[in-house]
A and B are shown apart, each in its own frame.
Chain A
Amino acid sequence: MKKIILLLSVLVSFSIAAAIDVYKFDNEEQEALFKTLTAELRCPKCQNNNLADSNASIAKDMRQKTYNMVIEGKNEDQIVDYWVDRFGNFVIYKPPVTLATSILWVAPGLFVVLGFVIIVRNSRRKLRTRDEDEDEDELTGADKDRLAKILKDSEK
């Protein structure tokens, strides 16, 4: 059993080590920027992996290119723009506000407003029907006579 655990732990550590590339940075800010970028950017070949997690060959290339740009002193926006320019908005997890994506921001507010309107209208309608019920209590002379007659008849 211990041997199996040992074997497993060795195997697991190998596969983890395989995903780690070695990059040298001039300072901590560059390293932090590289880490943020590879976590934020999405691998175009994989459906839901960021650059840091993916072992696809395109992700490796993109990590390398991102690293080069970080070392050149480019800032976060410049590097993100560089990738969006080539691979489209797919590479960023955070979608930009455009006409097509505006529904993501508008819809929640719209639902709250719509729900509120429906609640208000429903309660108003209930009030109104109650009013109408009260109106109906006031019967006209002919109806009163009829009612009285019906009640009299039913008593028999």
Chain B
Amino acid sequence: MTENKTGKQLLTRLIPFVIFIGVSVFLYIGLFKDASVLESTFIGRPVPEFALNDLVDPSLAHDKSVLKGKPMLLNVWATWCPTCYAEHKYLNQLAAEGVYIAGMNYKDDRVKALNWLAELDNPYKISLFDPDGMLGLDLGVYGAPETFFIDSQGIIQYKHVGDINTRNWNGKLKAVYEQLK
């Protein structure tokens, strides 16, 4: 047998091993992926049309033009959501640091929501009130809290599912916010 032939045979024998390594790496990565986080279909798309009343002043109507003009976060929250409670303190801190945050009260009760803001402080520059969750559906919201990163053109650049905290803000989200134009 020639050298060349042994080399070739060795390669053929290695193929199953290489496939095994490939599958292992694939499955290993899968272990650390949070399956409950869906990729948003809205990245790079403008905020959809909507007509919602203000949470604080019910006579005030808002449309998509309020989510435009400057880089901002749109935070979807509700009083029935424990994670939102955990997140709220940090949102107050971000608002104090000058981050522009719009709030969308999602499938909630107006009185409860107002009490919550009175008690825990209000980090939102604008508060939309979406009692039946219809803008939520149009934005692909499937839980709370969710936070959309919107640039000054009103284009959604990023969506974060779950609470914002010191760790993920400093880890990634701050950079995403600072890149918004």
**Which residues of A come within 8 Å of B, CB atoms?**
44-45, 47, 57-58, 61-62, 65, 84-88, 90
CB neighbours of B134 from chain A (8 A): 65
Whether B14 sits at the interface, judged by CB under 8 Å, is: no
The one of B107, B140, B143 in contact with A86, judged by C-beta atoms closer than 8 angstroms, is B140
A61 to B142, CA, bound (A): 10
- Flag if A57 contacts B107 (CB, 8 Å): yes
When chains A and B are docked, how far (Å) is the Cα of A57 from the Cα of B42? 21
Q: Which residues in chain B, 16-59, are within 8 Å of chain A measured between CB atoms?
A: 35-36, 38-42
The count of A-to-B residue pairs whose CB atoms sit within 8 angstroms is 40
**Inter-chain contact A87/B41, CB cutoff 8 Å:** yes
Q: Which of A44, A84, A85 contacts B142 (CB 8 A)?
A: A44
Q: List 18 A-B contacts (CB under 8 A).
A: A44-B140, A45-B143, A47-B35, A57-B107, A58-B142, A58-B143, A61-B107, A61-B137, A62-B137, A84-B41, A85-B41, A86-B41, A86-B42, A86-B137, A86-B138, A86-B139, A88-B140, A90-B38
Structural contact, A88 and B41, CB atoms closer than 8 A? yes
Question: Is chain B's binding surface mostly helix, strand, loop or mixed?
Answer: loop
Least CB distance, A29 to chain B, in whole angstroms: 25
Report how far A84 CA is from B42 CA in the complex, Å: 11
B103 → A minimal CB distance (Å): 19
Q: A57-B107, A62-B137 are in contact. Are A88 and B142 (CB under 8 A)?
A: no
Give me the 4 closest cross-chain CB pairs, A-B, nearest first. A44-B142, A86-B140, A88-B41, A58-B142
B137 → A minimal CB distance (Å)? 6
Q: Does B133 contact A (CB under 8 A)?
A: yes
- Kindly report which residue of chain B lies nearest to residue A121, judged by CB atoms: B12
Q: How far is the CB of B11 from chain A (nearest CB, A)?
A: 14
Cβ < 8 Å to A, chain B residues 114-137? 132-134, 136-137
Q: Please tell me which one of the listed residues B137, B139, B140, B142 contacts residue A65 in the complex, with CB atoms under 8 A apart.
A: B137
B142 contacts across to A, CB distance below 8 A? 44-45, 58, 87
Contacts of A88 in B (CB 8 A): 38-41, 140
* Nearest CB on B from A17, distance (A): 23
> Nearest B residue to A62 by beta-carbon distance?
B137
